[in-house]
Amino acid sequence: MTSILTPVLTDNWGDERAWTLASYEARGGYDALKKALTMAPDDIISAVKDSGLRGRGGAGFPTGMKWSFIPQDNPKPKYLVVNADESEPGTCKDIPLMMASPHTLVEGVIISSFAIRGNKAFIYIRGEVLHVIRRVQAAVAEAYAAGHLGTNIHGSGYDLDIVVHAGAGAYICGEETALLEGLEGRRGQPRLRPPFPAVAGLYASPTVINNVESIASVPSIVGNGAEWFASMGTEKSKGFGIFSLSGHVNRPGQYEAPLGITLRELVDLAGGIRAGHQLKFWTPGGSSTPLLTAEHLDLPLDFEGMAGAGTMLGTRALQLFDETVCVVRAVLRWTEFYKHESCGKCTPCREGTWWLVQTLAALEKGQGSESDLDLLLDQCDNILGRSFCALGDGATSPITSSIKHFRDEYLAHLTHGGCPFDASRSTAWAGLEAMA
Amino acid sequence: MTVSTGSTNGVERTDLVSVTIDGVQVSVPKDTLVIRAAEQAGVQIPRFCDHPLLAPVGACRQCLVDIPDAGNGRGFPKPQASCTLPVAEGMVVNTQATSPAADKAQQGIMEFLLVNHPLDCPVCDKGGECPLQNQAMSNGRGESRFEGVKRTYPKPINISAQVLLDRERCVLCARCTRFSEQIAGDPFIALVERGALQQVGIYEKEPLQSYFSGNTIQICPVGALTSAEYRFRSRPFDLVSTPSVAEHDACGSAIRVDHRRGKVMRRLAGNDPEVNEEWITDKDRFAFTYAQQPDRLTYPQVRGEDGELRPASWPEAFAVAARGLQAAGATGVLTGGRVTAEDAFAYSTFARVALGTNDVDFRARPLSSEEAEFLAAEVALTHPDTGSPTYADLESAATVVLLGLEPEDEAGAIFLRLRKAHQQHGTRVLAVAPYRSRGLRKMGGQAIIAAPGAEAAVIESLLEQAEYGVDSTAVILVGERLATSPGALSAAAALARKTGAKLAWVPRRAGDRGAVEAGCLPTLLPGGRPVSDPAARVDAAASWGVDTLPDAPGRDADAIVAALVDGQLGGLVIGGVDPDDTSNPAATRAAVEAASFVVALELRETDVTRAADVVFPVAPVSDKAGTFITWEGRPRPFEAVFSNPASLPDLRILAGIAEELGHPLGFRTVADVRARMAEMGPWDGQRPATPSYSSGGGAAGAMGGVRIASWKQMVDLGTMQDGDEHLRATARMPVVRVPAAIFEQHGQLVTLTGDRGSVTLPAVINKELPDDVVWVPANSVGRGVLADLASPGSTVTVKGAGA
């Protein structure tokens, strides 16, 4: 059964002290770097293009194409910025990766920077995960000591410095231009585009911003070839990815598999939904991706499959909820998150999330009327596509999708005069109280 | 007057882009934003964050429109913010007028904006002139669907002593913060916090210090920002608005005066792209209450036999003044620098025609004969049509040289334009100054350090140093302070002549430039006619309808004072002169005392009016029509705000006295004077030669003391800022700037002692100041530097005054 899995990034996670340089190199780590340094930078970009690697941060933009947008005739320095501000609710792939095998990322950063001809790279890590920041810092220090970083790397004449930057804990800083603002020392709020970061990004210089997992995939593509990578996955969503299962499954965790795997297969790998319960709804890629139900268990988890179901692959943060969970309650919690994390720059997101929370909170308490569902949908319609960045769009996803699939459950709150669910039944310790 | 704007119509015409907005095809210049292209098609798209003079931000999302074709045959799937989207050839835009999708998007945003906006329009100062209120009516729904809890804050909080913020009203458009960052360059007002709790905040340890903060109130699209001066004073719909021109500096900024029942309630910036764009200084905005003070003179007074001033009728006062002046014999005329061009012409005419003297001077400040020659040769008769520099030239010049001029304090509109020039066009600003001031830093300027009195040599050295880039594309601005630096004005004129750079003189006061044109100088008749030129005198005499004019050059203000003290002059006609502004305040007071007969024309009771024999109340600028000439030489005429028959302009009073003297001036009204000025016209004969004074080597440390560098800060103790304590509270704290060695020797509190007294102030280190120079604000403590500390050009001693 485990043959479905394709452990590449996660392959060494179980090794003794996997995060050390010695452990990483014992498995052939940094061999891809040595190979890359003998290649022409444009050939690396071509290889990444040919591999079909698409951005693993959620949007799925082809990575090689992004790199090719960097104007090489621009006299300004070129920068690589790694977006390690993993904050999407449910998402837990980059942080374990950096914790378990930071050198995979560091090697990817070096190869990617070499490809875009940048001499400075930044890893912007979410500020709350101090242990991960320290681990990446230690890995960077080890890489310097081993000559993988610094000047004239392995005699190639190529120089690179990596700066590990700690964010200050704002969801919005996962938005790439807000991240750049934060990196420059300003308040994290998204920037007006154009100019796009490829033309004028960090310090108004050409900048590539990639997700941790995208960059960490690069060494394997360079080492094994584009064809190897492209042989996995589906026609338009090639390669492998880390699927993070959380919620009501027996063995939550990270499952690395080719894109296009189905949730049914993943749930089987994770030991099934917790005993005695059935899957009720799930998010394919974090709370900003419209949620799905048990009907969608056999859809391929790739960019096209999810788009076909009216949702998005996102960060493959598969949060699974069984029938004990009140969808209204879950959606309210998510909406509170968006209200808390709205940066305040644009009106629809700032004011819309403030209002959505109040409308939802009333509904959860059984107050209001059926027309409030239409009001909610209209509020979402006035936010979606109107806000400055995608945060506002994301805030509407759980609401519109939950009303689409569970309208009756909303109405039950009104007829029941409050939430008809026993919240304690959804907890991990439900049914264990007698033993305590 | 038409003025070259520096705009390049030819280029624009070839760069036109055709777009279709609501079915109407319009051609607009390339890179025009859709929101402004729509205005040309007659469609007003609602907006809050958008401001034509600020960089686009796209924050409020109110201006969403539908773009079915972006010019490439494909449309945008979602509504687009028209304030950030440039037009493209063939673009099709459907606004709320024709697109239900755009209309719904706008209504949705408006509803969101009102979610957290209080419904306090009935008590809000903005109610009635509020973009949010207006656009909520035009582009919003009548009833809100929001029934929840609104965000609230304690109200209001002070952004500065003058600017107050009611946070719950704020729609977070960031106009105020962007203005401070992009236009004024003053930090410490920024958006803080996030989400719906995002708010405009200040840094508590460093208050917002800005001379331009009032503009944030004016551009606030809601009632979130108010001024302490105007808050709760009036309703917009009760106000009458009259356009006018600011009287506080030589910039000629357009303003709008809002008044109610004969009282000015507030002033706003007018919109003049050629001059001040849409910005004015806080002084231009808030300093108008000086005319509403209880000591305002409202009726003529004459000194009775008991030695006391008593009220008199106008005819009696005219007669008494005329009799007194006749008896007093030789009389001098000091006009002050606050006169309109018409009043200046009247003083000039009165001196020559009614008194038969050239003893007339507008300069109520330290002056020199070199300056008078410079004004006659280089300043009189210059204006934009004759190649004198304009605001637009400042913006397009590669290099602007400031000599003895601190624009942030002394000419706010120039400061803003130079900052814009530096930011948008990379203009290099060079200043010959004692140190690199805060204003200069904000303009990205470079200071060429010169001790006071030693400017001439530094200006001469600019010629030899090609790296400064002073060439024919440069603009040189000369401040009035240079008059006190021997040879500096000569050197500035020489620099302009040798490099071909444009040269302009920037006085501090609104009336100074017009007074030069009107001949309120002992050596100059109106229209730039030199007193020493017989042909010019004949020309002026013919226009005035008199046989002859006095042919000897007159006394300047300092000489008038001296002549009154030693009895060579008996009479004095004195306008808006504050003795403490003059080179020698004690001497000026003594001159007023010593004069056998003094006629004072003043707005408010002063030391001068208390000592005068006849006192005439004069009209403040709000009560009269007039013209201020800007530093560019651009006439800025304005009409009276109020029609107040008891409030007469200086020119009417001078005409009245002259008629009693038997020498009618030929005018009684502003219109008459304008006609006479036009009739006399500019002098087309030979111009006086440019002065060529030598610097005299300076007196560096000759007396072993420390030299004083000084100028007036924009907000200080000037009497025209009286009456608004909030404005005065925004003044910068008076300090002495001292070089490091003096600071280390004397500590944080120092006493300066000069030939006129002592001043004790906190000391602040300034490492750029020459070793023997300290800087003090000219009029921020006591009666000012000239009265309380030292005579111009003298030195002082420094002592520590710490505990």
Domain boundaries, chain B: 9-113, 153-292, 314-362+513-680, 370-508, 706-800
- Of the CATH numbers 2.70.98.70, 3.10.50.40, 2.40.30.30, 2.40.40.20, which one belongs to the domain with range B706-800? 2.40.40.20
**3-state secondary structure at position A160:** strand
Name the helix (H) or strand (E) containing B102: helix B100-115
Residue that has been written with the tokens 């003893």 in this structure:
B359
DSSP letter assigned to residue B786: H
Chain B residue numbers touching A345 (CB-CB < 8 A): 59, 172, 198
Asked if B413 contacts B486 with a C-beta cutoff of 8 angstroms, the reply is no
What does the pLDDT average to over B80-97?
A: 97
Residue that has been written with the tokens 């882009």 in this structure:
B17
DSSP letter string, B630-688? -TTS-EEEE--SS--TT---HHHHHHHHHHHHT---S--SHHHHHHHHHHH----SPPP
pLDDT band at B801 (very low <50, low <70, confident <90, very high): confident
Q: Chain A: give the shortest CA distance to residue B192, in Å.
A: 8
Report the Cα B723 to chain-centroid distance in Å. 19
Q: Do B105 and A386 touch (CB under 8 A)?
A: yes
Q: How many CB atoms lie within 10 A of CB B332?
A: 30
What digits encode the pLDDT tens for the residues A335-374? 999 999 999 999 999 999 999 999 999 999 999 999 999 9
**3-state secondary structure at position B529:** strand
Q: Do A382 and B108 touch (CB under 8 A)?
A: yes
Interface ipTM: 0.95
B783: left (phi over 0), alpha (psi -120 to 50) or beta: alpha
Cβ neighbours for B672, distance < 8 A, ≥ 6 positions apart = B666
pLDDT band at B4 (very low <50, low <70, confident <90, very high): very low
What digits encode the pLDDT tens for the residues B535-576? 999 999 999 999 999 999 999 999 999 999 999 999 999 999
Query: Which pLDDT score, from 0 to 100, does residue B634 have?
Result: 97
Domains in chain A (CATH in brackets) are: 2-230 (3.40.50.11540), 240-321 (3.10.20.600), 327-423 (1.20.1440.230)
* CA angle, residues B214, B218, B221, in degrees to nearest 5: 135
* CA angle, residues B728, B732, B733, in degrees to nearest 5: 100
Query: Which pLDDT score, from 0 to 100, does residue A197 have?
Result: 97
Chain B residue numbers touching A339 (CB-CB < 8 A): 195-196
CA distances from B56 to B33, B63, B82 (A): 9, 12, 10
Question: Which one of B48, B146, B168, B194 would you mutate to disrupt binding with A, by most A Cβ within 10 Å of its Cβ?
Answer: B194
Q: Do A351 and B112 touch (CB under 8 A)?
A: yes
B484: left (phi over 0), alpha (psi -120 to 50) or beta: alpha
Q: Do A385 and B113 touch (CB under 8 A)?
A: no
Q: Chain B: give the shortest CA distance to residue A194, in Å.
A: 9
Six-digit token pair at B15?
Answer: 């760069």
DSSP letter string, B327-338? HH-SEEEE--S-
**Poorest-confidence range of A135-144, A346-355, B198-207, B208-217?**
B198-207
Six-digit token pair at A170?
Answer: 């704002």
Which three-class secondary structure string do you get for A112-146? Answer: HHHHHCCCEEEEEECCCCHHHHHHHHHHHHHHHHC
* CATH class of the region B153-292: alpha beta
Question: How far apart are the C-alpha atoms of A299 and A260, rounded to whole Å?
Answer: 8
Of B56, B84, B196, the CB nearest to A351: B196
Q: Do B171 and A347 touch (CB under 8 A)?
A: yes
Q: What is the pLDDT along chain A (436 residues), one digit of tens a residue?
A: 457 899 999 999 999 999 999 999 999 999 999 999 999 999 999 999 999 999 999 999 999 999 999 999 999 999 999 999 999 999 999 999 999 999 999 999 999 999 999 999 999 999 999 999 999 999 999 999 999 999 999 999 999 999 999 999 899 999 999 999 999 999 999 999 999 999 999 999 999 999 999 999 999 999 999 999 999 999 999 999 999 999 999 999 999 999 999 999 999 999 999 999 999 999 999 999 999 999 999 999 999 999 999 999 999 999 999 999 999 999 999 999 999 999 999 999 999 999 999 999 999 999 999 999 999 999 999 999 999 999 999 999 999 999 999 999 999 999 999 999 999 999 988 877 655 4
Question: How far apart are the C-alpha atoms of B285 and B287, rounded to whole Å?
Answer: 6
**Could you say which architecture CATH assigns to the domain B9-113?**
Roll (3.10)
What does the pLDDT average to over B60-85?
A: 97
Of A348, A351, A358, the CB nearest to B149: A358
Nearest residue in chain B measured CA to CA from A378: B108
Question: Which one of B31, B61, B182, B203 would you mutate to disrupt binding with A, by most A Cβ within 10 Å of its Cβ?
Answer: B61
Asked if B461 contacts B447 with a C-beta cutoff of 8 angstroms, the reply is no
> pTM of this prediction?
0.95
* CA angle, residues B206, B211, B213, in degrees to nearest 5: 75
Query: Which residues are registered as beta bridge partners of B268?
Result: B256
Of B59, B62, B64, the CB nearest to A345: B59
Classify the C-alpha dihedral A44-A48-A49-A50 as positive or negative.
positive
Cβ neighbours for B67, distance < 8 A, ≥ 6 positions apart = B34, B75, B76, B80, B85, B91, B92, B93, B94
Q: Indicate if the pLDDT at residue B703 is higher than 60.
A: no
pLDDT band at B802 (very low <50, low <70, confident <90, very high): confident
Chain A residue numbers touching B189 (CB-CB < 8 A): none
Chains A, B: CB pairs < 8 Å: 97
CA distances from B735 to A244, B450, B729, B781 (A): 63, 20, 15, 10
Chain B residue numbers touching A346 (CB-CB < 8 A): 58-61
Query: Which pLDDT score, from 0 to 100, does residue B683 have?
Result: 96
DSSP letter string, A280-303? EEEESSSTTSPPEEGGGTTSB-SH
Closest by alpha carbon to B336, among B630, B90, B143, B578?
Answer: B578
Chain A residue numbers touching B67 (CB-CB < 8 A): none
Asked if B67 contacts B76 with a C-beta cutoff of 8 angstroms, the reply is yes
Name the helix (H) or strand (E) containing A400: helix A390-416
Q: Chain A: give the shortest CA distance to residue B25, in Å.
A: 26
Of A340, A378, A386, the CB nearest to B61: A386
Asked if B454 contacts B698 with a C-beta cutoff of 8 angstroms, the reply is yes
Asked if B663 contacts B757 with a C-beta cutoff of 8 angstroms, the reply is no
Check: CATH 3.40.50.740 for B314-362+513-680? yes
Chain B residue numbers touching A362 (CB-CB < 8 A): 148
Of A339, A347, A358, the CB nearest to B113: A347
B543 part of contact set with chain A, CB < 8 Å = no
Six-digit token pair at B492?
Answer: 């500035």
Superfamily name with CATH number, domain B370-508: Dimethylsulfoxide Reductase, domain 2 (3.40.228.10)
Nearest residue in chain B measured CA to CA from A384: B78
Residues 328-357 of A with CB under 8 A from B: 339-348, 350-355
Cβ neighbours for B229, distance < 8 A, ≥ 6 positions apart = B162, B266, B286, B289, B724, B726, B727
